[in-house]
Amino acid sequence: MSYVKPKKSLGQHFLSDQNIARKIVDSLGVDSTNVLEIGPGMGVLTQYLLKRKELNLTVIEIDRDSVTYLQNNFPDLQNIWAEDFLKVDISSRFNGNFSIIGNFPYNISSQIFFRVLEMRDQIPEIVGMVQKEVAERIASNHGNKSYGILSVLLQAFYNIEYLFTVPENVFIPPPKVKSAVIRLKRNGIFKLPCSEKLFFEVVKTSFNLRRKMLRNSLKTICAKLPEHYAQKRPEQLSVSDFIKLTTEIENLNK
């Protein structure tokens, strides 16, 4: 296979370490069948995904030069979508479930996870490399400064594993920050015991005003918050606490 030095595109840094690439692909569960790779670039993960014959692999790549490279160098790769993951209707293209893997572009990694949440009932597993601080935020428990909106929303529906840290010098071009690989697996909760729309609103509103006590940050949602939550700040509440809080607000607003 010919090698073309990749160019930085859409905030993406291309992995050049083959051992780490294999390790990322090996982190994808054996139960995965339909797999979507986001942002394959020059195919460093793709080459190892194609070796897993049990996988039905599709890649989605917005950069036209990368698409051309993939077409020319991976004849066994039949499904290449030259599109933007954030803008196309992915879920309708798969008949059933599909897992996601990728070296996610840093500048849209959070948006990718919000899209995952929208399609969560079809996505049993995600293995992704992201900026280290984003990985820490997603995997963070309550009580930590990094705990936030993505932590709560993703942990409500997925079990999160912080797998390993990736140094800067294994990328072209090298980023200024460390990266990390995380794995998300569906936790079996397909319906919350409260309004999911209200749950998302409570979590987002709480952390958008995270320095305020909940009685102040949530006053537009609930005029008088239950006393045992009123003086707390959002990082003090676990995922189950947020679900209970949403349920109580829902009952109070009836």
pLDDT in tens, 53-63: 999 999 999 99
Give residue-wise pLDDT tens across range 90-140.
Answer: 999 998 999 999 999 888 999 999 999 999 999 999 999 999 999 999 999
- Residue 204's pLDDT is what? 97
pLDDT category at 14 given cuts 50, 70, 90 is confident
In this prediction, residues 8-28 reach a mean pLDDT of 82
Cα 140 to Cα 135, 143, 161, distances in angstroms: 8, 9, 10
Is 0.85 surpassed by the pTM of this model? yes
| E strands in 108-225 | 125-131, 158-166, 171-172, 179-186
Q: Give the CA count within 13 Å in the CB-facing half-sphere of 191.
A: 1
- Rounded Cα distance, 232 and 211, in Å: 10
pLDDT category at 5 given cuts 50, 70, 90 is very low
Name residue 186's beta-bridge partners. Answer: 158
Reduced to 3 states (helix: H, G, I; strand: E, B; else coil), residue 36 is: strand
- Residue 65 neighbours by CB distance under 10 Å: 14
- Rounded Cα distance, 240 and 196, in Å: 13
CB distance 161 to 120 below 8 Å? no
Give residue-wise pLDDT tens across range 127-166.
Answer: 999 999 999 999 999 999 999 999 999 999 999 999 999 9
Whether residue 11 has pLDDT greater than 70: no
- Rounded Cα distance, 216 and 206, in Å: 9
The domains of the chain, with CATH numbers, are 14-186 (3.40.50.150), 196-252 (1.10.8.100)
- Rounded Cα distance, 67 and 165, in Å: 28
pLDDT category at 7 given cuts 50, 70, 90 is very low
Give residue-wise pLDDT tens across range 200-244.
Answer: 999 999 999 888 999 999 999 998 898 899 899 999 999 999 999
| E strands in the chain | 14-15, 34-38, 56-60, 79-81, 99-103, 125-131, 158-166, 171-172, 179-186
